[in-house]
Structure 1
Amino acid sequence: MEENKQNFNNGLPRQGGGPWWKPAVELVSQVSTWIVLPIILALIFGKMLDARFGTKPIIFLSLAGLGFLVTCFGIFRIIKDYIKKLQDIEKKK
């Protein structure tokens, strides 16, 4: 019997010989980490510092905004690197 050898990468070569879905899982996990980690840490530390210094919403909101900006920067950097990688693959074709 002959195995089904469909290429699910739309003509793109597999990188590293891994499964076809590996790059997508890597991208989703990187973006998810950049969404969750900075914002959660900013909110936890903001609440803790507000309680310690008695500046109820000021530090909390400031760190939440800073966490949002860090998240935007991280996602932008990941997407920029991913686009560059796709362009390099297209050039090799």
Structure 2
Amino acid sequence: MDENKQNLNGNGPWWKPGVQLLSEVSTWIVAPIVLALVFGKILDARYGTKPTIFLVLAGIGFLITCFGIYQVMKNYMKKLKEEAEKKNSKNN
């Protein structure tokens, strides 16, 4: 396969949008959950509420992750739709 092939909208290699999407989704998966777990452990140790704050922050981190992934996918689907409409209008 030719490495110099362009993606649908003609800017950059064909694999660039996939890597961007992967990095955005991965960031939304890792960052909120890891931060929530680290701060949950620290706050539980400080206030002596062993699993309570940890579990609450883990749940909040999960909800933030779900919201972030939803936003990324919504924007990506919108972008794909716009590119498809552009391609269809060029062909007509």
- For residues 26-66 of structure 1, give each alpha carbon's deviation from its aligned partner in whole angstroms, at most 9, with x where no partner exists: 00000000000000000000000000000000000000000
Residues of 2 paired with 1:87 and 1:71: CA distance? Answer: 24
Equivalent runs, 1:1-93 vs 2, <5 Å: 9=7, 12-14=8-10, 17-93=11-87
How far off its partner does 1:7 sit?
Answer: 5.6
Q: Distance in 1 between matches of 2:37 and 2:5?
A: 44
| Gapped regions of structure 1 (runs ≥ 5) | none
Counterpart code for 1:85: K
* Higher share of residues assigned helix: 2
Q: TM-score, normalised by structure 2?
A: 0.86
Q: TM-score, normalised by structure 1?
A: 0.85
**Structure 1 consecutive aligned stretches of length 4 or more whose deviation exceeds 6 Å:** none
CA positional deviation for 1:8: 7.3
How many aligned positions are there?
Answer: 86
The amino acid across from 1:87 in the alignment is K
Q: Which runs of 5+ in 2 are unaligned?
A: 88-92
RMSD of aligned residue pairs (Cα, Å): 1.9
Q: Deviations over 1:52-89 (max 9, x none)?
A: 00000000000000000000000000000000000001
